[in-house]
Structure 1
Amino acid sequence: MSSRRPLAAASFVLISALALAGCSTAESAPAAEEESSEASTVTYSWERNTAGEDEEPVYETETVEVPKDPKRIVAFEMATVDTIGALGGEVAGAPLDSVPEYLQDSLADDAFNAGTLFEADLIEIEAQQPDLIVIGGRSSGLYEDLSQIAPTIDLGIAGSYLETLERNVMFLGEVLGAEDEATEALAELETGIDEAKAATEEAGNGLAVIVSGGELSAMAPSDAEGGSANVRGGLLYDVFGVEPVVEDVASATHGEPISFEFLLEHDPDTLWIVDRDVATGEAEAGAAAQVLDNDIVKQTTASKNDAIVYLDPVAWYIVYGGIETTQLLIDDVMQIAE
């Protein structure tokens, strides 16, 4: 895996978050005359599903005034933990059991456990008196309860991966007073993604595969559809330009697990592997390699050319967002150029 590169100042063409139909937006709130910086806020809006768990989605615009320079932030969304730390801030509370090792430095020394990704410890959070709470993805359903404690916003996937990354990094940069750092970070990531795309173009076609419970599932391009699962599945294709070995991956697999024979039949130049069981703590590192260590896979072009690339499972399956994680994704893809 290539080494991390330091963030370097460079230009970055920003995609206006306001152009994202149905997605979150952030803009500076009008400031009252002579209002102190401590009292200033940023207005944040997003489309929130207000329907019940088994009901058809009903989206309504939610708008929250977010305090600038919040002293105590609770984050249930791991990409937010990532970006806050990368921009020089820290997270006061989070579902600590879900924070990956590489993001521990984003936590305050005395960070408290805010619950799980699905269930908040409301008593503990209220006792800690946070200034801002961030949810997203798995924790989006916690909004009603958490918004009674402190300003609560949803920074989950809305639009494409890159659109969401840019929107959230620039928004958190404004909230934390780290706008320059946010712009520099995005510029560095843009350069890295361009380099990774050049590498995948040289590597030929590919297939992204999730290994779980001894079975294989092919991931497919997201086709510009929103939603966390679609974005995650399409990361290699949509962000890094991998050419799918099958023209329509979703139709070819019917959403079902694929066989080892499927790999040999379609014979991608490169196999990109995410070990879900390692990501969720159900297996030790190397489990996917053991599953793929068989005579059928050894006949594939990817195996013969040593082009089976194992991706960081936590970054690609659990977090897949934020500044440091995106650099991890870039470094993983650049393995193909080594």
Structure 2
Amino acid sequence: MRTAARPLAALSLTVATTLALSACGEGEDATEAAAGTAGAETVSFTWDRNVAAEDQDPRFEETSVEVPKNPEDIVVLDMASLDTIGALGGEVAGAPLDSVPDYLQQYLADDAFNAGTLFEADIIEIESQQPDLIIIGGRSSALYEDLSEIAPTVDLSLRGSYTETLERNATFLGEVLGAEDEAAAAIAAIEAGIEEARAVTADAGTGLGLMVSGGELSAMAPAAEGDTGRGARGGLIYDAFGVQPVVEDIAAATHGEPVSFEYLLETNPDYLWVVDRDAATGAEGAQAAAAVLDNDIVEQTKAHQDDHVVYLDPTAWYVVFGGIDTTKIMIDDVMQIAG
């Protein structure tokens, strides 16, 4: 296995280590408070932040934040970042405890406190704990303004290329934690695993990503240019893992996302890649995806007849996606079809 990451496409987001605090716009006061003195060693993180109001079209501004190296107390409201911090040997002091999957519990401090939910922070509790660093992403991105008044806050949301975002985030967190070598090795291993998975899907024919929730079906489409969050997540099976979409423009072909069982027979992909959303969210009394797809129409599809209905880990693909350990789970899911 390679021990150094192959260079990826140039990143639009910059990660750089610096030995002195500099004026950095948003979050500067909190940064100085956390770092203690102007000479404290820090790491700089820059990203494009949506500064538009909820009812306005997105408007992005470049935002740079200096965060202290080797922070003692980290609050994380993004499960992918919790994953990567733990995989690199760190631990998290605060998180949305009710949303942390079993396989990531080991990365919480023994006395970890509940920082809220994936969507809403417990501002009072977080402020009382006075963390050195706060990390948001995806569902919690809108919390930046409030949280940046407490401590240096960075947004590690998935933006554009999955592999580039993963490399950016792991590199940044590796610098923060003093685990640069571990981050480089993890990036190289994941890159190799994704390449192996893409080699398998290249010979697998067509596929359709399918989300099942509440007994209903939604077709997942490749991400559009610039997609973040939900749009990028839905396209991972194609964009990151190379599955050939069964139709050229899935979104257009479905007039949106909801589809019928007849649509599965009409498009008749070689593989169905299924995410059980209700299992991911723990919806009570929900019918399992396998039960929803157990009907006469689906049984007529090529995917069913060839035993090519692949059930993806719902927590990895719907809740966490983007962390080091989680990406390994995703690679293993895709590699189920090898052989």
Whether TM-score is above 0.5 comes out as yes
Once residues 127 and 258 of structure 1 are traced to their aligned partners in structure 2, the CA distance between those partners, rounded to angstroms, is 47
Letter in 2 for 1:29: T
Which residue number in structure 2 is paired with residue 11 of structure 1? 4
Judge conservation of contact 1:197–1:242 (CA < 8 Å) in 2: yes
Once residues 316 and 50 of structure 1 are traced to their aligned partners in structure 2, the CA distance between those partners, rounded to angstroms, is 28
Identity %: 65
Letter in 2 for 1:103: L
Letter in 1 for 2:71: P
Aligned pair in 2 of structure 1 residues 190, 77: CA closer, same or farther (>3 Å)?
same
Which residue number in structure 1 is paired with residue 248 of structure 2? 247
Judge conservation of contact 1:269–1:302 (CA < 8 Å) in 2: yes
Kindly state the Cα deviation for residue 58 of structure 1 after the two structures are TM-superposed. 2.2
Secondary structure in structure 2 of the residue aligned to 1:250 = helix
Which residue number in structure 2 is paired with residue 282 of structure 1? 283
Which of 8, 21, 27 is 2:16 aligned to? 27
Secondary structure in structure 2 of the residue aligned to 1:61 = strand
Q: What's the TM-score once normalised by structure 2's chain length?
A: 0.91
Which residue number in structure 2 is paired with residue 169 of structure 1? 170
**Gaps spanning 5+ residues in structure 1: where?**
1-7
Once residues 52 and 238 of structure 1 are traced to their aligned partners in structure 2, the CA distance between those partners, rounded to angstroms, is 30
Once residues 72 and 233 of structure 2 are traced to their aligned partners in structure 1, the CA distance between those partners, rounded to angstroms, is 31
Judge conservation of contact 2:82–2:104 (CA < 8 Å) in 1: yes
Aligned length, in residue pairs: 325
After TM superposition, the structure 1 = structure 2 runs for residues 173-322 of structure 1, keeping only pairs within 5 Å, are 173-283=174-284, 287-322=288-323
Secondary structure in structure 1 of the residue aligned to 2:67 = strand
Kindly state the Cα deviation for residue 96 of structure 1 after the two structures are TM-superposed. 0.6
Which residue number in structure 2 is paired with residue 335 of structure 1? 336
Kindly state the Cα deviation for residue 262 of structure 1 after the two structures are TM-superposed. 0.8
Letter in 2 for 1:98: S
Q: Displaced runs of 4+ in structure 1, greater than 6 A?
A: none
**Gaps spanning 5+ residues in structure 2: where?**
22-36
Q: What's the TM-score once normalised by structure 1's chain length?
A: 0.91
Kindly state the Cα deviation for residue 30 of structure 1 after the two structures are TM-superposed. 4.5
Secondary structure in structure 1 of the residue aligned to 2:258 = coil
Once residues 129 and 164 of structure 2 are traced to their aligned partners in structure 1, the CA distance between those partners, rounded to angstroms, is 33
Judge conservation of contact 2:46–2:62 (CA < 8 Å) in 1: yes
Judge conservation of contact 2:214–2:287 (CA < 8 Å) in 1: no
Letter in 2 for 1:42: V
Judge conservation of contact 1:73–1:133 (CA < 8 Å) in 2: yes
Aligned pair in 2 of structure 1 residues 285, 165: CA closer, same or farther (>3 Å)?
farther
Judge conservation of contact 1:160–1:224 (CA < 8 Å) in 2: no
After TM superposition, the structure 1 = structure 2 runs for residues 45-194 of structure 1, keeping only pairs within 5 Å, are 45-194=46-195
Letter in 1 for 2:319: I
